[in-house]
Amino acid sequence: MAHFTLTSIIFLPLLGSFIILLIPRKFEDTLRGLSLLLSTITFGLSLSLWFGFDKSNTLFQFIERYSWISELGIYYYLGVDGFSVLLVLLTTFLTPICILISWDTITHKIKEYYFSFLFLEAAMVGVFVALDVFLFYVFWEAILIPMYFLIGIWGGKNRLYASIKFFLYTLVGSLLMLIGILYLYFQHSGTPLTFDLVTIIQNVSNTPIPYKNQIWLFLAFAIAFAIKVPLFPFHTWLPDAHTEAPTAGSIILAGVLLKMGTYGFLRFAMPLFPFAVDFFTPLLILLSIIGIIYGALVAMVQTDVKRLVAYSSVSHLGFVVLGMFMLNHQGVTGSVLQMINHGLSTGALFLLVGVIYDRRHTREINAFGGIAATMPVYTTIFLIVTLSSIGLPMLNGFVGEFLILLGTAKNNWVWTAWAATGIILSAVYLLWMVQRVFFGPIVHEENQNLTDMNWKELAAVIPILIVIIWIGIYPSPFLEMIETTTDTFLKSRSILTISSVQFP
């Protein structure tokens, strides 16, 4: 049966972005309203994934497969499984929120702004649903341009430096991945040559890729993904990009773009190169633990709230990578859930930091203090989100981090201890920041007359809050979506590992 659910989720925003281009720029509110409407409809469409997703199905669902460039074996091949379906939903969920929060803050080049945003949404969804390696690469690269514009045009003072750094960093990684993709295609995609991921995975599980090739190919893919995650020591672009990006850009960057890296590991690097994964697992675990602790320690000494949240991302993404390389049920499931959690919590944190920045035009922790008295609603919401980011039980962060730590504990207690340190440190830096910003006496005159959140800001943040609490209290619907795919993923790996015994 032919259905176009995924195609419509990609092409509605894409089409929308071109409609935006056709509307004269003097109709500012029409531009804003239309892009909000389009992204909301897109979210509505993607809900059919939530309801139509078969939780017991081990294969890809909502498949669409057409020949695209037949000469080169390239397909327009889309589909979702438990790993990607929630990420698609996260993308379509966060985009309308980002558009809403930009309503008043983005005042120049509005047309370009909403064009970039809708284009970005289309490409992000594309990354998560593409099952053809070439198609995936096209979407992966297409993200760079709108994101570059978002940082570079609507960003802060140092935006040019940050945007170029972001662009070049990711581009170098992905070009190496392109070569890896092509090498994989020529050497190991079977006959006839194809970019179809499902076929390639089948082929490499029948005739495994030689050990040495796996090492190199894994490196080519993993560096691109590690830069995106970002894994220590490839993280240096992230604080700059986050700090300089506009609020909505940071939300989308933290919420979705970083997940492209972790998703890439799960979807491509790990199933394709199982032996290399075994080889590199200790290194990757080490790097992720360093990332967890280093990110937390650096976050602690930040004076800029946004930069602090950015470093906390490095720390949290360390957990995600740690969980997936535990290669057991709890670790991988927790890791996928934690991707969603981080997207929600950190997205909300960036949103809230944006709210205060719009009022005071500074993010220095010293410039605040005692604003709980003037902005009670804001303070409450900020506290809830912070606690979710720390991993307080009954909020979403706890579920993911707990599962990851459980998975880690199954393999190694020492790693678990180090990783748990990260959680403690996160409580330290986040709560310390909350204390300095919200409580105590008001020292600065400007903070006396701050207005609390307006309805647009509330409308943007409350949906996130609802999901945060939902996942915290009743995570089963989410976990069930992930678990079947986790099992399939681990089973196919164990078959491969057994066959590796016979492999010379």
Partner 1 sequence: MNSTIDILDQVNANLPTIILLSFALLMLLIDLFLPKRNHLFRSLLAIGSLCIVYLVVKLLLQEKTVYTYFFSLDSFSYFFHILFITVLVFTFLLSGPYFERTKIKFPETSLLLFFSTAGAMIMISANDLIVMFLGLELMSICLYVLAGMLRKRVQSNEGALKYFLLGAFSSGFLLYGITLFYGITGSTNYSEVNQWISQTSNKLSLTFWIGAGLILIGFFFKFASVPFHFWSPDAYEGAPTPITAFFSATPKAAAFGTFIKILIVAFPLVVSDFELILKIIAIATMGIGNFVALQQKSVKRMLAYSSISHAGYLMVALVVKSNLGYSSILLYLIVYSVTNLGAFTIAYLVNRKNEGSYSYEDYNGLATKYPVLAMFMALFMISLAGIPPTGGFFVKYYIFYSALKADQLLLAILMALFSAISVYYYLKVIVHMYMKPLPDSYETIKSDTHVTMGLIFSSLIIIIIGVAPSFWLTLTNRSVSNILINP
Report, in Å, the least distance between residue 69 CB and partner 1.
5
Taking CB under 8 A as the criterion, the residue among 179, 301, 424, 466 binding partner 1 is 179
Give the C-alpha separation, 208 to 201, whole Å: 10
Q: Counting contacts by CB under 8 A, is residue 71 touching partner 1? A: yes
Q: Cis bond leading into 282, ω under 30°?
A: no
Residue 164 lies near partner 1 (rule: CB under 8 A):
yes
Q: Interface mask (CB under 8 A) for partner 1, residues 79-108, using x and -?
A: -----------------------------x
List CB contacts of 182: < 8 A, sequence separation 6 or more: none
Q: How far is the CB of 68 from partner 1 (least distance, A)?
A: 8
Q: What 3-state class would DSSP assign to 129?
A: helix
Minimum gap (Å) between residue 112 Cβ and partner 1: 7
**Which SS3 state, helix, strand or coil, does residue 232 take?**
coil
Q: Which is nearer to partner 1, 192 or 504 (CB)?
A: 192
| 56 near partner 1, judged by CB under 8 A | no
The Cα–Cα gap between 92 and 42 comes to: 7
179 vs 394, which CB is nearer to partner 1? Answer: 179
Among 47, 175, 283, 414, binds partner 1 (CB under 8 A): 175
Q: Quote the Cα angle for 108-364-251, to 5°.
A: 50
142 near partner 1, judged by CB under 8 A: yes
**Interface with partner 1, residue 137, by CB under 8 A:** yes
Tell me if 25 contacts partner 1 by CB under 8 A.
yes
Supply the angle between the helices 197-206 and 159-188 in degrees, to the nearest 10. Answer: 50
Stretch that binds partner 1, among 141-149, 371-379, 450-458, 462-470 (CB under 8 A): 141-149
For 193, the 3-state DSSP assignment is coil
Q: Which residues pair with 132 in a beta bridge?
A: 196
Instruction: Report d(CA 380, CA 372) in Å as an integer.
Output: 8
Cα Rg of the chain, angstroms: 22
Structure tokens at 317: 């993404």
**Binding residue for partner 1 (CB under 8 A) from 37, 172, 414, 495?**
172
CA 210 to chain centre: 32
Among 47, 72, 301, 417, binds partner 1 (CB under 8 A): 72
The binding site for partner 1 (CB under 8 A) comprises 21, 25, 68-72, 108-109, 111-112, 137-139, 141-142, 144-145, 148-149, 152-153, 159-160, 163-164, 167-168, 171-172, 175-176, 178-179, 182-183, 186
